Amino acid sequence: MRSRQSNVGQGADRWLARPGRPRTPKSRSSPPAFRFERVVRRYGRHIAVDHLDLEVQRGETVALLGPNGAGKSTTIALLLGLLHPQAGSVEVLGMSPRRAMAEGRVGAMLQGSGNGLPPGVRVSTALRLVHRLYGDRVPMELTIERSGIAPYLGRQTHRLSGGEAQRVRFAMAIAGDPELVFLDEPTAAMDFAARQSLWRTVAQLGQQGRTLVFATHHFDEAEHAGRVVVINHGRVVADGPGATLKAAVSTRRLRFVCDRPDDHVLDTLEGVTDVEVRGRGVTLVSLDADATVRDLVRRAVAFRDLEVTGARLEEAFVALTTKGSIRSAGSP
């Protein structure tokens, strides 16, 4: 396989977030789920969050994406009141992040050392303690049902597998019936069935009016969100539906069958940035699918069963977080 650097398509600049512009109309009766206004956070000379503007309305389900070092972890810490901004302001449910957390209106499932659970106790004991901290706002049985942890209640927390521990941590995040739920890599170590179960619960919580924000490196999982926010270099690079993110990138994938694929010819086709040949199956990544098809015909390449699809979410993410791509898209 060979790759060249690709660029964001011309349509991306119509989709990228503009500072201070909300994605959905503001409610006159209640503040948004959270709002960042020109937030800055530095570590020495390094700017982790650079005049960040971001607003999420109540009831939204948002996927937060960002490469390592993009400022995503710092953004999360500011949202949860674990850090304070050095400039700008952060508001959660119309109040300070720490107050929202203290009132139990925010639930969080964070990554940590070990499995993140109190050691040496049964799962049922740990969950009961969390419920009492929240004043038993909802029946513990409902939390168990939502999270699917009934089989683990009699187990010691340190004897849980990685995926099982994730499900218990999810249960604790929603035990107080929070208005805003943050999930950091929620499906890490889960098997397929557990992942599907969790996403069904996330969808149900969203349908009930809760705001859910989850950080993930699994690009296909971002499709469970109604909105995808991409953060890079401490700023919002792109903000909108995942399908629109993919459409904003001009990359297209062309798949076809060729009895005798010639790597040199395929490599030099107009618009092509990546070539993969497996037997008679050929996949081309192109910045101009129409030009590539015309060139295939002009060079008399014998191809059949042609299929042209849009960019995958992962490809859109890579393009939007490439330094040159951000500038060409006109972000601030």
Number of domains in the chain: 2
Whether residues 185 and 298 fall in one domain: no
**What is the rounded CA–CA span in Å between residue 96 and residue 48?**
21
**What is the rounded CA–CA span in Å between residue 283 and residue 7?**
19
Within a domain: 122: no
Q: Summarize pLDDT for 80-104 with one digit per residue, the tens.
A: 999 999 999 999 999 999 999 999 9
Which residue, among 61, 85, 67, has the nearest Cα to 75 in the 3D structure?
85
Instruction: Check pLDDT > 80 for residue 8.
Output: no
Within a domain: 125: no
Angle between helices 162-174 and 192-207 (to 10 degrees): 10
The CATH code of the domain that includes 232 is 3.40.50.300
Whether residues 101 and 9 fall in one domain: yes
Burial zone of 77 (CB within 10 Å; 0-12 exposed, 13-18 middle, 19+ buried): middle
The CATH code of the domain that includes 278 is 3.30.70
Q: Which of 20-29, 81-90, 236-245 has the lowest mean pLDDT?
A: 20-29
**What is the rounded CA–CA span in Å between residue 75 and residue 231?**
9
**Is the whole model's pTM more than 0.75, yes or no?**
no
- Domain extent at residue 41: 2-105+178-246
Whether residues 285 and 202 fall in one domain: no
Whether residues 271 and 190 fall in one domain: no
Q: Are 235 and 321 in contact (CB under 8 A)?
A: no
Which residue, among 198, 243, 235, 217, has the nearest Cα to 64 in the 3D structure?
217
Within a domain: 162: no
Which residue, among 261, 290, 285, 265, has the nearest Cα to 275 in the 3D structure?
285
Q: Are 234 and 53 in contact (CB under 8 A)?
A: no
Whether residues 231 and 297 fall in one domain: no
Within a domain: 69: yes
Within a domain: 231: yes
Which residue, among 61, 120, 54, 118, has the nearest Cα to 85 in the 3D structure?
54
Whether residues 237 and 259 fall in one domain: no
Whether residues 220 and 299 fall in one domain: no
Q: Summarize pLDDT for 159-184 with one digit per residue, the tens.
A: 999 999 999 999 999 999 999 999 98
**What is the rounded CA–CA span in Å between residue 160 and residue 123?**
9
> Quick one: pLDDT at residue 272?
87
